[in-house]
Amino acid sequence: MVTCHCEEQNVSRTEIAERLHEIQGKKCFICGRPIDLNSGDWQIDHIVPRAAGGKDEPQNFALTHEICNKKKLDSDLRVARCMFKYEEMKEKYGKRGFNHPNLGDFLEEFGGAKYPLKISKINDEIEYEFWHISTIKSDKSNLYKDALSGLNYSFISLPIEYIYHDDRINPRAIGSRVKGLIEEFLHGRPQLHVSLAWTKIEHGKAEVKVFDGQHKIAAQLLLGVREFPLRVFLVNNEKDLDLLLVTNTRAGTVLRQVAFDMSVQRFLGSQIYWEKIDQYRQLKGLEENDLSFSEKDLITFFKGEHRELKKYIIDDVRTYVIHSPENKLKDYIEFGGRAAEKPLSYSTIEKTFFTFFINKEPLETPLSYKLEVGENPRQLEKEQLIKLMNMFAEEILIGKYDVDIGSAKIEEKLRKGENIPDNHLRAIRLTREEVLYNILRYVRDCIKRYFLLAMGKSVEDKELFQYKFPEQLWGHIRKVIQNIANMPLWINRDTGLSSAIFGGKQSYDYWKTLFDTGKTPQGVAVLPKGLSLDELLT
């Protein structure tokens, strides 16, 4: 809020507002939507806050909605404006993939990624044309050779219309740490590293795809920049591209030069897995879509890389399951490390659902085995895992967990007497890693027993999800989840219990003992008695 000295100069607050209203095109400085001065819903504020050296002069004033000013995400209105836009994009594009917009979404939002370059390679140079504008502009750049890899590259500066995002090599989303970069650029500090891209000339045209440095580009897009410097690798074939994919993946995993979230590492592993399948086909002279070989065959063939490959196979299952559009649980998973709004972290999913139910051993059946009749073991594993996760989402989270309350410090808030709704409290307690892990033990036992008693089949734990579950079994699983979720323990507000059991993170064994006996390892009775599968099924 501005409390300025203008009124002494006989300029009223309303007059300033009217002037700003005109200058800003009748729109709010933060959200960009129209402001109605008669509504009274407006405020005048300093663009650069006084505390940061902003002057108390009309040039430093802006008109905003009252609500936008109240909710602003930074005291510097220019940053607040960028972050408003970012939040808006999170809402618009964040529903899929990694729950945040990626560079492709940013480019789309700002009118980029529209045209391939018209390009030709002449000796040690590339010549390219910006052809979508009325006066065609052409330019050329030196082509260099990377000394050890032999890859060709060039340095060019491109308007965003000619920049695409490669979400395959770099699927990472734009996280809220983009704010730090916005502040840097806003203070006139230059971009230090050049973003990386690759392109392949086909019929005189080339789409330039960025695979590194997307946060820098996103931050500057938000600040109105529309042209970016790039180091562009000129790729000749699949092998070159594969090299970039592997290099970038290693930079973020083995070498840890870039901080890749675990789910991003898995995604890249899955990409490399499919690259390996392609290589295998080529070297064996197989058709493009051939799936007549097994995971075991691949491992035997790529002997030198068998350990990595084994991991990539599992990465592919994890990635499929977690990014499936059918997966209802993923809306409740925080992919970028610490969870605050969302109850689950990606790492919890790996330690629970994936640890229990993904078979880590490579299969000997062909990848195409019974795929058409819906009985391929890997495919069943993926689809049934999604179905199980959906059941948890339906019984515990959807319409029950309140994002606005969030998951941070819930037990503390509860002990201070804050009003936490039952459904929300239950959802938070049931999705604790150690609790979830132990619930899944009962789910696993329920499945095993069904196979044994109803189908006369003894199945190893790791293979359970690779057999098709009859509808009746799904009914049993749901019953188990419902019965556990309905236990009064999850909504018990006793402060002693809250701090003893839910205070800090407990071990898996702590909860195993509690579920098995009804008592904590210290002997404190929490449940009337231990849980039994028989009772959980009624």
**Cβ-count burial 153-163 (b if 16+ within 10 Å, e if not):** bbebebbbbbb
- Report CA dihedral (455, 457, 458, 461) to the nearest 10 degrees: -70
Strand order in the sheet with 163-165: 144-145, 152-159, 227-234, 195-199, 208-212, 163-165
Least distance between Zn ion and beta carbon 111 (Å)? 22
Least distance between Zn ion and beta carbon 509 (Å)? 53
The DSSP call for residue 506 is P
Cα–Cα distance measured from residue 144 to residue 455, given in angstroms and rounded to the nearest whole number: 66
Residue facing Zn ion at closest CB distance: 28
Least distance between Zn ion and beta carbon 67 (Å)? 7
3-state SS class at 529: coil
Nearer to Zn ion, 31 or 309 (CB): 31
Nearer to Zn ion, 68 or 218 (CB): 68
Cα–Cα distance measured from residue 3 to residue 14, given in angstroms and rounded to the nearest whole number: 13
Nearer to Zn ion, 35 or 329 (CB): 35
Nearer to Zn ion, 71 or 239 (CB): 71
Nearer to Zn ion, 31 or 427 (CB): 31
Cα–Cα distance measured from residue 112 to residue 353, given in angstroms and rounded to the nearest whole number: 39
- Report CA dihedral (246, 249, 255, 256) to the nearest 10 degrees: 170
Nearer to Zn ion, 21 or 441 (CB): 21
Nearer to Zn ion, 62 or 313 (CB): 62
Least distance between Zn ion and beta carbon 43 (Å)? 10
Cα–Cα distance measured from residue 467 to residue 384, given in angstroms and rounded to the nearest whole number: 9
Least distance between Zn ion and beta carbon 18 (Å)? 17
Element (H, E) at 195: strand 195-199
Nearer to Zn ion, 33 or 360 (CB): 33
* 262-to-86, 124, 308, 470 alpha-carbon distances in Å: 23, 40, 16, 33
Max Cα separation, the chain? 92
Least distance between Zn ion and beta carbon 47 (Å)? 14
Cα–Cα distance measured from residue 186 to residue 387, given in angstroms and rounded to the nearest whole number: 47
Strand order in the sheet with 117-122: 137-142, 125-130, 117-122, 205-206
Sorted by sequence, the CB contacts under 8 Å of residue 528 that are 6+ apart come out as 518
Least distance between Zn ion and beta carbon 79 (Å)? 15
Residues linked to residue 196 through DSSP beta bridges, in sequence order: 212, 231
Total residue count of the chain as it appears in this document: 538
Q: Residue 97 corresponds to which amino acid?
A: G
Nearer to Zn ion, 31 or 206 (CB): 31
Nearer to Zn ion, 35 or 182 (CB): 35
Least distance between Zn ion and beta carbon 46 (Å)? 16
Comparing CA positions, the residue from 415, 400, 407, 402 lying closest to residue 503 is 415
Comparing CA positions, the residue from 324, 348, 350, 344 lying closest to residue 332 is 344
Nearer to Zn ion, 45 or 166 (CB): 45
* CA 300 to chain CA centroid, nearest Å: 34
**370: which 2 tokens?**
């019974």
* CA 44 to chain CA centroid, nearest Å: 37
Nearer to Zn ion, 43 or 220 (CB): 43
Nearer to Zn ion, 28 or 446 (CB): 28
Comparing CA positions, the residue from 245, 243, 265, 264 lying closest to residue 254 is 265
Comparing CA positions, the residue from 67, 22, 71 lying closest to residue 40 is 67
Give the per-residue SS3 of 362-405: CCCCECCCCCCCCCCHHHHHHHHHHHHHHHHHHHHHCCCCCCCC
Residues interacting with Zn ion, by CB under 5 A?
Answer: 28, 30-31, 65, 68
